[in-house]
Amino acid sequence: MLIRKGDSRPLRTEDDVVFSRQAVRSWAVEIGLSLVDQTKLVTAASELARNTVVYGGGGTLTLEQVEDGIRRGIRLVFDDQGPGIPDIERALQDGFTSGGGLGLGLGGARRLVNEFHIDSRPGEGTRITVVKWK
């Protein structure tokens, strides 16, 4: 798989979440994702960026263009050094929330992308990697 490193953006405030959504949309347009797939990726990115700020205490978003044979896509990596997710399977279940939301965030984000991976350890932070293919 060919990876073209791209942008790395801080995620510390709500403004950073907004700017990250704009960057993801711009990259999605650039590689030619359909409007529906742009919307799915931006929605997932928005949720994951917000989680990074709210639950992870801030972190970074790294955007990368990926190619696998004839496919092109975008990989987003959300990193934080927060408290981590003690029970990933439970956190992915619809209805589970550690805050006051609807509990659709992680599971919803997972359904909007083609690839979804969480690496999290209590006390060490969380890394969520998603890919949307064209």
For each of the domains in the chain, give its residue range(s) and CATH number, in order of start: 2-133 (3.30.565.10)
Q: What angle do CA 54, 59, 63 make, to 5 degrees?
A: 115
- Measured CA to CA, the distance from residue 9 to residue 24 in angstroms comes to 11
pLDDT tens for the chain, 134 residues: list them. 555 667 899 999 999 999 999 999 999 999 999 999 999 999 999 999 999 999 999 999 999 999 988 899 999 999 999 999 888 888 777 665 555 544 358 888 999 999 999 999 999 999 999 999 99
- What pLDDT is stored for residue 102 in this prediction? 40
pTM for the predicted model, two decimal places: 0.89
Report CA dihedral (13, 45, 5, 1) to the nearest 10 degrees. Answer: 160
- What pLDDT is stored for residue 98 in this prediction? 58
- Measured CA to CA, the distance from residue 50 to residue 113 in angstroms comes to 17
